Amino acid sequence: MYEGVVQDLIDELGRLPGVGPKSAQRIAFHILQADPTDVRRLAHALTQVKEKVRFCTVCGNVSEADLCRVCQDPRRDPSLICVVEEPKDVVAVERTREFRGRYHVLGGAISPIEGVGPDDLRIRELMQRLADGTVTELILATDPNLEGEATATYLARLLKPMGLKVTRLASGLPVGGDLEYADEVTLGRAFEGRRLLDV
Ligand SMILES: [Zn+2]
């Protein structure tokens, strides 16, 4: 335990995902020894991101405007929607350069253990987007783990009566993992080899 503000910093850092007590301590001491200009830049980036960044009103991706970059781009195919769990998955898919459609960010995955049900995700918003008939194919690109599979199956059943083409990324992605950890080539292939979901 350290005194006052140093401990406060360690505690705050320790609340971040993936940062254990040891890492929190290491980062705190790095900041203590860093150049004041660098620390001010970090502090500025932290406050700016909360002030300026919000979520796209259509797809739920991070955005500095009402609509995100993808939703604003008229060259992106509006008939194709790739459904992902988190904004970071949009970044992962964009890196592959394989996908020219639009996105829908659910904001998580169905997880009974963590108390996340369908109503906690942006599924209602997705159904609203499908209402006008523009969208003809949905690619369910939720993570290749238990929660992601459960979410894809739930969505496929929900979408079935609408007669849309519903596909899931091809196998080959590391099972149990997170979409963002797949390399571009593997993820790109998974898009090309996507298969129809029959539920
Ligand atoms: Zn958007």
- What are the sequence ranges of the domains in the chain? 1-34, 75-168, 172-199
Q: What is the CATH number of domain 1-34?
A: 1.10.8.420
Tell me whether the CATH fold assigned to 1-34 matches the one assigned to 75-168. no
Centroid of ligand 1 to alpha carbon of 65 (angstroms): 9
Centroid of ligand 1 to alpha carbon of 38 (angstroms): 32
Question: At residue 48, does pLDDT exceed 90?
Answer: yes
Average pLDDT over residues 74-102: 94
Centroid of ligand 1 to alpha carbon of 72 (angstroms): 7
Q: What is the pLDDT of residues 129-149, one digit of tens each?
A: 999 999 999 999 999 888 999
| SS3 state at 82 | strand
Token representation of residue 66:
């009402």
What is residue 170's predicted lDDT score, i.e. its pLDDT?
74
Instruction: Tell me the CATH class for 75-168.
Output: alpha beta
Between these two residues, 88 and 199, which has the higher pLDDT value? Answer: 88
Centroid of ligand 1 to alpha carbon of 161 (angstroms): 26
Kindly state the percentage of the chain with pLDDT values over 70. 96
Centroid of ligand 1 to alpha carbon of 140 (angstroms): 17
**Rounded to an integer, what distance in angstroms lies between the CA atom of residue 41 and that of residue 154?**
43
